[in-house]
Amino acid sequence: MNRKQKKMLMRIIAAALLMIVLHFMPVTGLLRFILYLVPYFVIGYDILIKAAKGIKNRQVFDECFLMAVATIGAIALALTSDGDYTEAIAVMLFYQIGEWFQSYAVGKSRRNISELMDIRPDYANLEVDGRLEQTDPDEIEIGSIIVVQPGEKVPLDGVIVEGNSTLNTSALTGESLPREAKCGDEIISGCINMTGVLKIETTKEFEESTVSKILDLVENASSRKSKSEHFISKFARYYTPAVCYAAVALAVLPPLVRMLALGLAPAWGVWIYRALTFLVISCPCALVISIPLSFFAGIGGASHEGILVKGSNYLETLAQTRYVVFDKTGTLTEGVFEVSGIHHSTMEREKLLEYAALAESASSHPISRSLQHAHGKELDRSRVRDVQEISGNGVIAKVDGHTVAAGNDKLMKRLNIPHLDCHEVGTIIHLAVDGAYAGHIVIADRIKPHAKDAVSALKSAGIEKTIMLTGDRRSIAERVAQTLGLDEVHSELLPADKVELVETLLKAKPGKAKLAFVGDGINDAPVLSRADIGIAMGAMGSDAAIEAADVVLMDDDPMKIAKAIKISRKCLRIVYENIWFAIGIKLICLFLGAIGLANMWLAIFADVGVMVIAVLNAIRALFVRHL
């Protein structure tokens, strides 16, 4: 509780006590009126002042004005009739309790959510003359050496120059498994160092570091308002004045009709009381507070799971997603090529691999790297001479004096060497040594461990169609699609084809169903921004993805796509629940008030009670761990 809230609580308690005391005091007439004014002013003086200022500034239709008119009216009615002032004071008292609760709940959830996102490092340890000095991360220049001790947050992005440790990345990725880090590894800010002391050479300034970017993104997320939020602020703008005019009409018209047309007593008191009840019901706070709070809680909860949503509007779109388009490499597959088989080798398999690795050693192509990786030993480049690269075919080189040709079937045809086709799917490297066929090596991209589960999770979350796009060959693409159970696959696409294809899909789908594109953000930025919603995966440290995508998944796990959709659905469900609940109850109470079935007490429930329930419901959006 802050100072303001404490003061308000004291006023609420004081006013409540005064009312109880007054209830048992047998005073009547003017003295009673004056005594009852004491708790009224104790609890409501600020509302009255605000209402007066509002009138002065020509901002009549606000809640304070409504409450002031309603309570003063109720007191005036009590003065002329039965002298029961409790109702007027109770209205003010409960209104203030509601306001107090709202400010307390919002403050509390604001703190909760910021705690969830508490990844901001407070200091960095700079080594100065052999001693550690705590410095503001903002002041550290690129290339400085900082020390991160066990238990501390990594304050800036950098490269480890000394030490080994395990890192807890859960604040960034939602992944609870710790990650190993050793000398030479890149490290990103926001991780928590768990075991060893690390010395890090910084590669980015604080402002450019991952942690600042993420914080900036999440903090600005709720500024991008969703359609429901726009609807609510518009609704509030027209609703309050409309209810005020309706209240005036309710106070004036029926008595006039009774008097002039029906010849009955006007019963001013009854109708004014009904009009006042109307005013109390009319406050739009329940809606105005709970909708942004739901979105804020949803975004906060998602970010704790390693899913960054860049705005409330994207949360809304995500909830309507029916089509999910994947890029293959890096999204459904690891994007890391591995030797998956060596066939028909005429020599020892190790030997064949060595020849292939040596022949390809001059190239930095991923294929060459995976060959070297599979070979596993240090390569002696001096054994290779006369490397001749034949673009689109492969290489021919002299290794230990033997002529080694390594490449695809085109190379074999070119050299007129009969080769054996492979039944396995992947990239095939045929080898010929001294003009004789020596076998082939299969290199394939590995499917991510959770990819299959992720696709079926999407299906059970109600996604109608899953589509895969890839630049890879048809046979590979179809094999992957079949293994994962995808509905549609388009292969051998250039980046520009992907944009075109997504555009065709966007045109073909029904207007309400949204299309999400999931990519790794490295070369699919145009598609990410073209789709209704772009989701970038494995974005830890990739600036391009954070820029281009609307939703950023911090780790590589495709399961998070279904989770993100579920979180958005839960959040939106809460938003709609609150809209229908709040508007529904208010309309019912307004109707009951107009026909005289609702008294002030019900009106207070319609205002404060609905608000409290809506706020509590909104906070539910924060709990998304087990979705």
Partner 1 sequence: MKKTYKIEVDCANCANKMELATKNTAGVKDAVVNFMTLKMKVEFEEGADPKTVMPEVLANCRKVEDDCEIFF
Q: Write out the DSSP string of 514-534.
A: EEEEEE-SSS-HHHHHHSSEE
Q: CA-CA distance, 574 to 617, in Å (whole number)?
A: 7
**In angstroms, what is the minimal distance from the CB of 290 to partner 1?**
9
Reported as type and span, the H/E element at residue 349 is helix 349-359
Beta strands in 100-164 (DSSP E): 124-128, 131-135, 145-148, 158-162
**In angstroms, what is the minimal distance from the CB of 29 to partner 1?**
36
The interaxial angle of helices 474-484 and 451-460, nearest 10 deg, is 60
Please give the radius of gyration of the chain, using alpha carbons only, rounded to the nearest integer: 35
Q: Which of 78, 105, 154, 293 binds partner 1 (CB under 8 A)?
A: 293
Q: Which of 68, 73, 92, 99 binds partner 1 (CB under 8 A)?
A: 99
Q: Is 3 among the residues that bind partner 1 (CB under 8 A)? A: no
Q: Is 284 among the residues that bind partner 1 (CB under 8 A)? A: yes
Q: Which of 33, 35, 54, 422 binds partner 1 (CB under 8 A)?
A: 54
Interface with partner 1 by CB under 8 A: which range of 19-27, 74-82, 231-239, 256-264?
Answer: 231-239
127 vs 138, beta carbon nearer partner 1: 138
Task: State both tokens at 319.
Answer: 């909830």
Q: Is 288 among the residues that bind partner 1 (CB under 8 A)? A: yes
113 vs 395, beta carbon nearer partner 1: 113
Q: Is 400 among the residues that bind partner 1 (CB under 8 A)? A: no
Q: Is 607 among the residues that bind partner 1 (CB under 8 A)? A: no
**In angstroms, what is the minimal distance from the CB of 283 to partner 1?**
9
Q: CA-CA distance, 33 to 547, in Å (whole number)?
A: 65
Tell me the residue type at 375.
H
- Alpha-carbon distances, residue 429 vs 359, 362, 396, 441, 442 (angstroms): 12, 16, 12, 5, 6
Q: Is 120 among the residues that bind partner 1 (CB under 8 A)? A: no
**In angstroms, what is the minimal distance from the CB of 389 to partner 1?**
51
Reported as type and span, the H/E element at residue 248 is helix 227-257
Catalytic residues: 327
85 vs 296, beta carbon nearer partner 1: 296
108 vs 385, beta carbon nearer partner 1: 108
Q: How many residues in the shown chain lie near partner 1 by CB under 8 A?
A: 29
Interface with partner 1 by CB under 8 A: which range of 141-149, 153-161, 218-226, 371-379?
Answer: 218-226
Q: Which of 233, 345, 523, 599 binds partner 1 (CB under 8 A)?
A: 233
**In angstroms, what is the minimal distance from the CB of 49 to partner 1?**
8
178-217 footprint of partner 1 as x/- string (CB under 8 A): ----------------------------------------
**In angstroms, what is the minimal distance from the CB of 104 to partner 1?**
11
Interface with partner 1 by CB under 8 A: which range of 183-191, 221-229, 385-393, 536-544?
Answer: 221-229
Tell me the residue type at 481.
A
C-alpha neighbours within 13 Å on the C-beta side of residue 344:
19
Q: CA-CA distance, 506 to 549, in Å (whole number)?
A: 17
Q: Which ranges in 556-597 belong to alpha helices (H)?
A: 559-594
Q: Is 219 among the residues that bind partner 1 (CB under 8 A)? A: yes
Helix/strand/coil for 30: helix
- How many CB atoms sit inside 10 A of residue 380's CB? 10
Reported as type and span, the H/E element at residue 197 is none
59 vs 483, beta carbon nearer partner 1: 59
Burial (Cβ within 10 Å: 0-12, 13-18, ≥19) of residue 411: buried
Q: Is 236 among the residues that bind partner 1 (CB under 8 A)? A: yes
- Alpha-carbon distances, residue 409 vs 414, 420, 445, 487, 493 (angstroms): 9, 9, 19, 31, 22
Q: Is 416 among the residues that bind partner 1 (CB under 8 A)? A: no
Label the pairing between strands 488-490 and 465-469. Answer: parallel
Interface with partner 1 by CB under 8 A: which range of 233-241, 331-339, 362-370, 519-527?
Answer: 233-241
Q: Which of 3, 26, 30, 57 binds partner 1 (CB under 8 A)?
A: 57
**In angstroms, what is the minimal distance from the CB of 95 to partner 1?**
12
**In angstroms, what is the minimal distance from the CB of 602 to partner 1?**
22
**In angstroms, what is the minimal distance from the CB of 291 to partner 1?**
8
Q: Is 620 among the residues that bind partner 1 (CB under 8 A)? A: no
For residues 241-260, which are near partner 1 according to CB under 8 A? none
Q: Which of 285, 315, 548, 575 binds partner 1 (CB under 8 A)?
A: 285
Instruction: Give the rounded distance of the alpha carbon of 467 from its chain centre.
Output: 24
Q: Which of 28, 134, 176, 223 binds partner 1 (CB under 8 A)?
A: 223
Q: Is 308 among the residues that bind partner 1 (CB under 8 A)? A: no
**In angstroms, what is the minimal distance from the CB of 279 to partner 1?**
16
Gap between the terminal Cα atoms of the chain: 32
Q: CA-CA distance, 527 to 497, in Å (whole number)?
A: 10
106 vs 533, beta carbon nearer partner 1: 106
Helices then strands (H, E): number in the chain? 21, 22
**Whether 384 contacts 358, CB under 8 Å:** yes
For 249-310, what is the HEC assignment? HHHHHHHHHHHHHHCCCCCHHHHHHHHHHHHHHCCCHHHHHHHHHHHHHHHHHHHHCCEEEC
Q: Is 606 among the residues that bind partner 1 (CB under 8 A)? A: no
Q: Which of 71, 102, 168, 368 binds partner 1 (CB under 8 A)?
A: 102
Cα dihedral: 380, 383, 386, 392 (round 10) = -50
Task: State both tokens at 570.
Answer: 């839960």
Q: Is 92 among the residues that bind partner 1 (CB under 8 A)? A: no
Which residues are CB-neighbours of 241 under 8 A, at least 6 positions away? Answer: 61
Q: Which of 14, 38, 60, 103 binds partner 1 (CB under 8 A)?
A: 103
148 vs 618, beta carbon nearer partner 1: 618
Interface with partner 1 by CB under 8 A: which range of 45-53, 378-386, 445-453, 518-526?
Answer: 45-53
57 vs 364, beta carbon nearer partner 1: 57
Strand partners, 515: 323
Q: Which of 110, 452, 465, 620 binds partner 1 (CB under 8 A)?
A: 110
Interface with partner 1 by CB under 8 A: which range of 103-111, 320-328, 546-554, 579-587?
Answer: 103-111
Q: Is 63 among the residues that bind partner 1 (CB under 8 A)? A: yes
Q: Which residues are near partner 1 by CB under 8 A? A: 49-50, 53-54, 57, 59, 62-63, 99, 102-103, 106, 110, 113, 219-220, 222-223, 225, 233, 236-237, 284-285, 288-289, 292-293, 296
